[in-house]
Amino acid sequence: MAITPKKNCKMERNFSRRKAISVAGKVAISAIVAGGVAAIGGYYAGQVAAAPAKVTETRTVTAAPATARETVTVTAPATTVTVTVAERSKLSLSHWTWNAKVMEKAFELSDALLRFNVEVPQESLTTGQVYDRLTVAATAGVGAPDWVLLENEFTPRFASIGILRDLEEFGARKYLDKLPKFWVDSGSFDGKIYGMPWDIGPCGIFYRVDLFEKYGLEPLKPGMTWDDVVEIGMQFLKSEGAKDHAFMSFPTNDRGPLTAIIQSRGGKIFEGKKVVLDSGEALEAIKFIASLRDKKVISMEPWWTDEWYAKIADGYFLCIPAGQWFGGFLRDWLAPKSVGLWRATSLPYWEKGKPTGGIYGGSNFCITTQTSDEKAERAWELIKFLTIDLNGVHALYKASGYFPANIEYLDMIKGSTEPYFGEQRWLEIFVDVLKYTPALEYGPLWTHYTGNIGALLDRLAAGEDPVTATKEIAQIIRSAIG
C-alpha cells in the first residue's frame, strides 16, 4: 500500500474553463464515450494505486452551456491518487454533526467533495441536539438531513424508529472485515447495519508517569490486573503525595468509564428488552467501582467542568480512565504543557492473562430514510470513502486525531510515537484493546440506560450501597419501559 499517512495530499489544479467551453462541441462526443468507459471501468478504479507521484486526474464537469471535460493535474507527494470522476450532476448532501470543522478539514485534505461532486452543508450541533432533532424529524416524517453522525451506542435506537437506511442496500456487508467485529455487532439492529464507523474509543488509562516516579509507584502497563492497580493505588495513598493528589479520577456525570468497565467484565445492560443491569457481571463491575470508592482509589466527581480541567492541568490526578481520544484532548487543550509526562495503558484485566477491553465513545456515519435514493447513493460513496478507503480514513484521522475503526489503517499507524507521550507506542495499546473487547448489546432501549446511569453514579459517589442503588435504578428503568 503506497500510503504514507503522515504526509498530506497536496493537489495543484490547472484548468481553463473558457478553453474547455470553446471546444465543448468537439469534446462532447469524446466526453460521452470517455464517461461511458469510466463508468464501465468503475468509479473507484485505482483510487489508491501504486503509481508515480505525479498523476493525472480525469474528471467531467457539468458546465453551461455544454458538458465539458477538464484535465486536472494532481501532485501528491508519497501518495498516489487516481480519481476518475463520473459524469453526473452536483448534489448537496446535508449533514448534522458535532464535528463540522473537522469534517471541513478532512474534505479539504482529501478533496472528497471534488471526487464525489457534492457539497456538504453541515449543521454543527451537540450530540443531544442531533438526537432531539432526529427524533422530531422521525416523528414528523420530514426534516432529517441526508446523512448524520451518531454515536455507535445510539445507532440502534434510531434504526428502530426507521429514520436510518439499512446500509446493506449499498453493499456495506462486504466491507465489515475491515472493521472490528464487536463494534459492528454492538451498533447493529435486527442484524442489519445502519452505520459505518468514523471513530472508535477503546478505553484505557492515562497516567502521569512523572508522579508515579516521584512517589515510587510501579508504572501501569498492559496486562496488569485490577488487583495490581488497586495495590499501586493503596501504596500511593500511604505516600506523601496523597495530600496533594488523587489517584484516579472517576466521573459522576459521564457514563463512559463505568460502561467500559462493565463491558470489559462481560456484563450486559439489556438482554433484548429485559433490564439486566442489576445482575451478573454488570452488578459485579458496579460493586467493584464502589469498592474502589471505599478504598479511596478513585475520586468521584463531575467531569468536563472548569474545575476538573484545572485539576488535570495542575497534575492533581495520577490516572484518568478514558477512551483513546482523550490522549488528543490532553495533548491539544487539557494539558498541552505536560509534554512527555503522560503515558497510556489498557484497562486492567480482571484475571491475569485474560485480556479484555471496553469502549468509551465512537461514532458512525448514517444515511437517513428521508433522503432521496440518488442522494443516499452519493452519501454512501462519501461515507465509504471516509471509512473504508484509506485516503478518506487518513484525511479524517489527520483532521481529527480520532481513532479510526479501519483495522488496515490502524495497523499502519499503530507504531506512531510522539513526544507528548514520551515516544511511547501508545496507539498500539489501544489497537490491541480492540482485539479483546467483547460486544455490548446497546439496542433500541439504550436511552433508558443513558438517562438514568448518571443518578447511579451520583448515588455511588454519595457513598450508597451499590447493590441497593443499582437495583433501584434498574427498577426505574423497568418502570419507564413499562
Partner 1 sequence: MRGYNRYLIFFLLPFFALFMTFNILPIFYTIFVSFNKVQFYGGSASFSFTGLTNYFQVFNDPLFFIGLKNVLLILGIQVPIMTGLALILALLLNSPLIIGKRFFRSAIYFPLTISLVLAAIYWSFMYGKEFGLINLLLSNLGFPKIGWLVDPNIALYSIMNVITWRWTGWNMLLFLAGLQSIPPVLYEAASIDGAGRLRTAIHIVIPLLKPVFVFSIVLSINGSLQTFAEPWVLTGGGPAYSTYTVVLNIYRYMFGIGNLGLAASMSLVLGVITVVLAILFIRVVSKE
Contact call for residue 320 and partner 1 (CB under 8 A): no
Amino acid at 395: A
- String of contacts with partner 1 for each residue 246-265, x by CB under 8 A: ------xx------------
Residue 194 interacts with partner 1 (CB under 8 A): yes or no: no
Binder among 94, 459, 470, 474 for partner 1 (CB under 8 A):
459
φ and ψ at 156, to 5 degrees? -60, -35
Q: Does 315 bind partner 1 (CB under 8 A)?
A: no
Q: Measure the CA–CA gap between 185 and 438, rounded to whole angstroms.
A: 10
Question: Does residue 48 belong to the site contacting partner 1 (CB under 8 A)?
Answer: no
- Binding residue (CB under 8 A) for partner 1 from 53, 78, 161, 467: 161
C-beta contacts of 125-129 below 8 A and 24+ residues apart? 125/96, 125/97, 125/98, 126/98, 127/98, 127/151
The rounded distance, in Å, linking the Cα atoms of 285 and 290 is 9
CB 369 within 8 A of CB 376: no
Number of residues binding to partner 1, judged by CB under 8 A: 40
Cα–chain-centroid distance for residue 426? 17
Sign of torsion, CA 270 271 275 279? Answer: negative
How far apart are CB 369 and partner 1 at their closest, in Å?
5
> Quick one: 130 or 412, whose CB is closer to partner 1?
130
Enumerate the β-bridge partners of residue 58: 71, 84
Out of 22, 305, 417, 468, name the contact with partner 1 by CB under 8 A.
305
For residue 293, state whether it binds partner 1 (rule: CB under 8 A).
no
Write down the least CB distance from residue 447 to partner 1, Å: 5
Amino acid identity at 319:
C
Cβ distance 127 to 144 under 8 Å? no
Q: Is 447 in the site for partner 1 (CB under 8 A)?
A: yes
Report the SS3 class of residue 332: helix
The mark string for 120-139 relative to partner 1 (x by CB under 8 A, - otherwise) is -----------xx--xxxxx
Residue 300 and residue 458: Cα distance in Å, rounded? 9
Out of 163, 285, 367, 382, point to the residue binding partner 1 (CB under 8 A): 163
Binding mask 332-371 for partner 1 (x = CB under 8 A): -------------------------------------xx-
Are 424 and 221 in contact by the 8 Å Cβ rule? The answer is: no
32 part of the interface to partner 1, by CB under 8 A = no
Q: Are strands 95-97 and 66-75 parallel, antiparallel or unpaired?
A: unpaired
Shortest gap between Cβ of 92 and partner 1 (angstroms)?
A: 21
1 near partner 1, rule: CB under 8 A: no
Q: Which stretch binds partner 1 (CB under 8 A): 158-166, 242-250, 255-263, 412-420?
A: 158-166
SS3 state of residue 118 = strand
CB of 148 to partner 1, least distance (A): 14
- β partners of residue 151: 363
Instruction: Point out which residues bind partner 1 (CB under 8 A).
Output: 131-132, 135-142, 157, 161-163, 252-253, 301-302, 305-307, 310-311, 369-370, 447-448, 450-451, 454-455, 458-459, 461-462, 475-476, 479-480, 482
